[in-house]
Amino acid sequence: MIKILGSILFLGSTIFALSNFEVAQKSEEVMTGFKDSIATMQMTLINAKGQEKIRTMKMQVLEGKVEDKSLMEFLTPPDVKGTKFLSYEHIDIDDDQWLYLPALKRVKRIASKNKSGSFMGSEFSYEDLGSFNFKKYSYTGEAEEVIINEIPMYKISYVPISKYSGYTKQISWINKKDFLVHKVEYYDRKKKLLKTAYFSDYKYFDGIPRIGSIVMKNIQNDKTTKLVWIDEKIKNSLKDKNFHKRYLKK
């Protein structure tokens, strides 16, 4: 006799738990369907002494059938205003990424080997800014079931496929009820814990969850970067042409 209870399949007296791959796939699936997004964001840089720098940006994202595109533009303060970052997600090859620097009036292509570098002095790397796609990682074994703050979660581990990744492993804690990510640990090329990201303030648009806040804490240098979505709208009828490289210089 087969019974379905929650996300576990019971076959007689045998329990088949979800694999790391299945949890990652489900976590990505619940976030899809928004078509496109336009949001104002606030980035706060906090150094080891607790001193803060605040920046605001406009973020646009176009959801593709397989691969997403995103365009970020800094609005304030004056020293970064007009800086733009364009990213084309890919599955089988590394993402295409470009940075426009208004002071130099030129577009800089981000080489694959440099994507582990800091983005605009933040604790996010260029690699972190690419859309998460579970197909970019390899998985083995079953997801571990844990309780965090009285919340049942899946703890999964996975390894980036790209040889240029700055990480040797990532570990995610994902809510068992809604499959939303709550925490991710990033391990550097020496296999030591480098950063921890905390995801919170999810908001629903037409039943689709969108992240409201990410706090990225660098364990090794004691710096933190906060990303907060001040407002967001989905399904704005954006097109591929809105993410052309010519928009970087406009």
CATH code matching the domain that covers 19-249, chosen among 3.40.190.10, 3.20.20.140, 2.50.20.10, 1.10.4080.10:
2.50.20.10
Cβ atoms of residues 132 and 28 within 8 Å: yes
Q: What distance in Å separates the CA atoms of residue 61 and residue 157, rounded to the nearest whole number?
A: 27
Q: Going residue by residue through the chain, which has 250 residues, state the pLDDT in tens, using 9 for 90 and above.
A: 333 334 444 444 445 689 999 999 999 999 999 999 999 999 999 999 999 999 999 999 999 988 899 999 999 999 999 999 999 999 888 999 999 999 999 999 999 999 999 999 999 999 999 778 999 999 999 999 999 999 999 999 999 999 999 999 999 999 999 999 999 999 999 999 999 999 999 999 999 999 999 999 999 999 999 999 999 999 999 999 999 999 898 8
Q: How many CB atoms lie within 10 A of CB 237?
A: 7
Cβ atoms of residues 208 and 34 within 8 Å: yes
Q: What share of the chain is helix, strand, coil (3-state, %, to 5)?
A: 10, 50, 40
